[in-house]
């Protein structure tokens, strides 16, 4: 697909602080003259919000791994068709909190579903689209999980969004390892941010990476 827009994705384990950075990335990219759309997976469309509610409800302990995978892909197919692709085709900058790498890391590396099968689904669903830049907010799983669980407690969570926070530490360690191996395999697309640092320092790193990305893009 030929397209004039910019597609930036954010990835990381639970508690990596991605959501805080999304707002700052939008402000920064707008200050550079780009019209931006901030979105997320799962749940970037109205139908996707319904799929998100199924996926994250901590009462859904019987959700089978393959059903989970296909619900993430259904959310993505809808999101790409109705929001991401149209926005990129009209030249917008799309900033997406999680995308395909999350499926490869969570459902593939951590749940153990076939990576070949997941890659095949992505080939069908993406039709050649790939993020221009993927920011991986990396930190030890112990720290991320402690942060994420504290956030849920502070929000007096009703369990509507806690299904992954309830997974064991070993699961989140596999997710982190999966992300790091994806980053190693695609160094041109990934940039790693040390997300253990305080939010302002995380932002300083992110801003430098965005500035470098834009400089390379305008030189190309």
Q: Footprint of ligand TMP on this chain (CB under 6 A)?
A: 14, 40-42, 56, 72, 98, 102-103, 106-107, 164
Round to the nearest angstrom and report the end-to-end CA distance of the chain: 19
Which own/partner contact pairs does 197-205 have at CB distance under 8 Å and 24+ positions apart? 199/17, 199/20, 199/21, 202/17, 202/20, 202/21, 202/137, 203/21, 203/24
Q: How far is the CB of 32 from ligand TMP (least distance, A)?
A: 25
Alpha carbon distance 36, 25 (integer Å) = 9
Q: How far is the CB of 213 from ligand TMP (least distance, A)?
A: 22
Cβ distance 172 to 47 under 8 Å? no
CB closer to ligand TMP, 47 vs 56: 56
CB closer to ligand TMP, 66 vs 215: 66
Return the SS3 of 57: coil
Q: How far is the CB of 62 from ligand TMP (least distance, A)?
A: 16
Q: How far is the CB of 72 from ligand TMP (least distance, A)?
A: 4
CB closer to ligand TMP, 114 vs 216: 114
Cβ distance 17 to 142 under 8 Å? no
CB closer to ligand TMP, 47 vs 214: 47
Q: How far is the CB of 2 from ligand TMP (least distance, A)?
A: 26
DSSP state of 190: E
- Written as six digits, the tokens of 156 are 């007096």
Phi then psi dihedrals of residue 6, to 5 deg: -120, 135
CB closer to ligand TMP, 24 vs 34: 24
DSSP state of 92: P
CB closer to ligand TMP, 19 vs 90: 19
Q: How far is the CB of 99 from ligand TMP (least distance, A)?
A: 7
Cβ distance 6 to 156 under 8 Å? no
């Amino acid at each position: 697909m030929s397209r004039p827009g910019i597609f930036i994705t954010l990835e990381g384990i639970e508690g990596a602080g991605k959501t805080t950075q999304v707002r700052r990335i939008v402000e920064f990219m707008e200050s550079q003259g780009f019209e931006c759309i901030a979105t997320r997976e799962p749940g970037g469309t109205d139908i996707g919000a319904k799929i998100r509610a199924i996926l994250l409800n901590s009462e859904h302990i019987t959700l089978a791994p393959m059903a989970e995978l296909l619900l993430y892909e259904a959310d993505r197919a809808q999101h790409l068709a109705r929001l991401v692709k149209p926005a990129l085709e009209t030249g917008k900058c799309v900033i997406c909190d999680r995308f395909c790498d999350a499926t490869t890391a969570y459902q593939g590396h951590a749940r153990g579903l076939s990576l070949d099968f997941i890659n095949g689904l992505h080939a069908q669903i993406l039709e050649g689209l790939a993020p221009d830049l993927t920011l991986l907010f990396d930190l030890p799983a112990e720290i991320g999980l402690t942060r994420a669980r504290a956030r849920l407690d502070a929000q007096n969570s009703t369990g509507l969004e806690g299904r992954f926070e309830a997974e064991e530490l070993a699961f989140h360690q596999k997710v982190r390892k999966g992300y790091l191996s994806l980053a190693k395999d695609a160094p041109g697309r990934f940039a790693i941010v040390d997300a253990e640092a305080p939010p302002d320092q995380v932002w300083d790193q992110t801003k430098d990476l965005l500035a470098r990305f834009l400089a390379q893009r305008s030189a190309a």
